Chain A
Amino acid sequence: MSESQTRPPNRLLRNLNAKIASIPMILTAVVVFAGGTVWTVLHSFTNSKLLPRLNFVGIDQYTRLWATPRWLVSIENLLIYGVLSLVFSLVIGFVLAALLDQKIRFENTFRTILLYPYALSFIVTGLVWQWLLNPELGIQGVVRNLGWTSFSFDPLYDSSIVIYGILIAALWQGTGLVMCLMLAGLRGIDEDIWKAARVDGIPMWKTYLFIVIPMMRPVFVTTLVIIASGIVRVYDLVVAQTSGGPGIASEVPAKYVYDYMFFAQNLGQGFAASTMMLLSVVIVIVPWAYLEFGRRRRA
């Protein structure tokens, strides 16, 4: 640590102001996030109904959870949605950024167009796409009116593909931001690298794939955090677009949690479901977050 030269001798008083200034953060981390989590996990072992109570029932809530078809459908949907939206938004975002980075005209205009959906809420996004994908009035209806009467495109009313209908809307809303982050990353790459690659006669796609992308690791990391945290939480979009339907075909875990906590007035079941969500997040995120942010940067 380079700060060590200027460090005052007393360790306790050192950084006192910084500690005071961090009180809101510490409170949020400890009381709200950690405390709220512990509280939730604790109550997931109880039979709390409408109000939280500490009547412990062991792992009953979990046994029931994993025997519930709707929960299994939710998990499956989240996996499909998560993997696809991660892959597509990274790939599309990067390709668009690379296209915009070709010294093109109207870059600002294109960028604004690609980014504006991000300003709209999921509720709005869901409503618009519900309308566009409406079989009678939307895209399908319009194409059929043009004469192609057998044309069929109604993802929101077809159980087997409804999750892709949601994906279309999610990508529309979110890729602009990914593009923006990627573009920023590309602009951070030193011009000399491009020059050197051109001198060596490396084709452009190879330069992107083997030189530029590895150099953009920090950007990918930040982007991943932003996309992934959105995926786990996906809720509003589903509610606005399909309400989980048709049937239970587009249910997601966050909706299961909400529905069972509040509609079904079974807090225990909702807490058990949210604990499972947290567990998966913790298994994936914590080791990575600690490595990524916990290590000392200025060594």
Chain B
Amino acid sequence: MNIASKSPILTTDADGFAGPRGPKPRRMLSRRNIIVYGTLLVVAVYYLLPLYVMIVTSLKGMPEIRLGNIFSPPLEITFEPWIKAWSSACTGLNCDGLSRGFWNSVRITVPSVILSIAIASVNGYALANWRFKGSELFFTILIVGAFIPYQVMLYPIVIILREIGLYGSLAGLVIVHSIFGMPILTLLFRNYFTSMPEELFKAARVDGAGFWGIYLRIMLPMSLPIFVVAVIIQITGIWNDFLFGVVYTRPETYPMTVQLNNIVNSVQGVKEYNVNMAATLITGLVPLIVYFVSGKLFVRGIAAGAVKG
């Protein structure tokens, strides 16, 4: 079983991400460079502006917000809004901010990510290498399913979960996330596995390896980039989910996004924009950190999954 080392996939970049292909730059201040960097800078400003406004606003006091403009930096930096958003913002009688939702979100996200990726990677592998009668039909249904508005499925899923007795439990929500993550993830894994050299698979078959053997010993070790993509997509997707979190859980297990919505929409008197922005930032922090830390891996992985159709 020493096929892997012979494979070209490990010698070149697995995802074909070899570096920029455009013509080489010549002078630093050529007209072309000015256009390229100029455009990118303008675009970067447009992309960063909302984040900047969020951060600045979350550090201001309410009087300053009412008087000043949203782009000016805070005159007096205060962390009060952050503390309030995290630990004391109210929804109804519950005044414990987002802190409770944070751990709920962790408890929802971790098992959902693991289960959905485990299922989808096996699906993709079966679809790429072990096609059987009807497998493409199921896959087509799955892809069409990606387009079904979630609202349409809410009711049938309530019935299904009720019938298997998982409604309102954490396990039920994990299953729902796995179901709705399946189409896109299966597509990614299937594309990735299809793009792996056919010889690899054939040689393993000749050596007598079976379905699970090939999956565990060859496919898994070689598909790190696509797993990274899947993990990132799922973490951000599930962490950011609102609809399922609100419909399929109960108040004590509400994820952070639901609490964010509750806090933002529970206007008590004046809208506290600074607390709202702080709450928004805190909620977005986890997926943002995942992105900033794994940025390069994500780009590589997405290339691997998407390009080799």
Q: Which residues of A contact B (CB under 8 A)?
A: 2, 6, 14-15, 17-19, 21-22, 24-26, 28-37, 39-40, 52, 96, 98-104, 107-108, 110-124, 127-129, 131-132, 137-138, 141-142, 145, 172, 176-177, 180-181, 183-189, 191, 194, 198, 204, 217-219, 221-223, 225-226, 228-229, 232-233, 235-236, 253-254, 257-258, 261, 267, 270, 274, 277-278, 281-282, 285-286, 289-290, 292-294, 297-298
| B309 touches which of A116, A117, A118, A219 (Cβ 8 Å) | A219
Q: Which residues of B contact A (CB under 8 A)?
A: 15-25, 32, 36-37, 39-40, 43-44, 46-51, 53-54, 57, 65, 69-71, 119, 122-123, 125-126, 130-132, 135-157, 159-160, 178-179, 182, 184, 186-187, 191, 194, 198, 202, 205-206, 210-212, 236, 239-243, 257, 260-261, 264, 273, 276-277, 280, 283-284, 287-288, 290-292, 295-296, 298-299, 302-304, 306-309
Tally the A-B contacts, defined by beta carbons under 8 Å. Answer: 321
CB closest residue in chain B, given A282? B144
Query: In the complex where A18-B132, A123-B257, A236-B242 touch, is A29 in contact with B145 (Cβ < 8 A)?
Result: yes
Query: In the complex where A36-B153, A127-B264, A184-B306 touch, is A107 in contact with B20 (Cβ < 8 A)?
Result: yes
Task: Give the distance in Å from the alpha carbon of A217 to the alpha carbon of B306 in the complex.
Answer: 11
- Collect the chain B residues with CB atoms within 8 Å of residue A189's CB: 21
Task: Give the distance in Å from the alpha carbon of A282 to the alpha carbon of B57 in the complex.
Answer: 45
- Can you name 5 extra interface pairs (CB under 8 A) apart from A116-B288, A127-B264, A281-B147? A21-B122, A104-B36, A104-B40, A121-B284, A185-B303
Query: In the complex where A117-B50, A257-B152 touch, is A188 in contact with B22 (Cβ < 8 A)?
Result: no
Main DSSP-derived SS at the A contact region: helix
Task: Give the distance in Å from the alpha carbon of A286 to the alpha carbon of B144 in the complex.
Answer: 7
Task: Give the distance in Å from the alpha carbon of A15 to the alpha carbon of B179 in the complex.
Answer: 24
**15 A-B interface contacts by CB (under 8 A):** A14-B132, A22-B135, A29-B138, A33-B141, A40-B156, A100-B40, A104-B36, A114-B47, A120-B240, A121-B240, A131-B53, A131-B277, A187-B18, A218-B308, A257-B149
CB closest residue in chain B, given A25? B123
Q: Which of A2, A103, A141 has the most CB of B within 10 A?
A: A103
Main DSSP-derived SS at the B contact region: helix
Query: In the complex where A34-B141, A188-B16, A290-B140 touch, is A103 in contact with B24 (Cβ < 8 A)?
Result: yes
Contact call B46/A128, Cβ cutoff below 8 A: no
Q: Tell me the smallest distance from the CB of A52 to a CB of chain B, in Å.
A: 7
Contact call B135/A30, Cβ cutoff below 8 A: no
Task: Give the distance in Å from the alpha carbon of A194 to the alpha carbon of B19 in the complex.
Answer: 14
Task: Give the distance in Å from the alpha carbon of A117 to the alpha carbon of B50 in the complex.
Answer: 9
Task: Give the distance in Å from the alpha carbon of A297 to the alpha carbon of B25 in the complex.
Answer: 39
- Collect the chain B residues with CB atoms within 8 Å of residue A186's CB: 21
- Collect the chain A residues with CB atoms within 8 Å of residue B131's CB: 15, 18
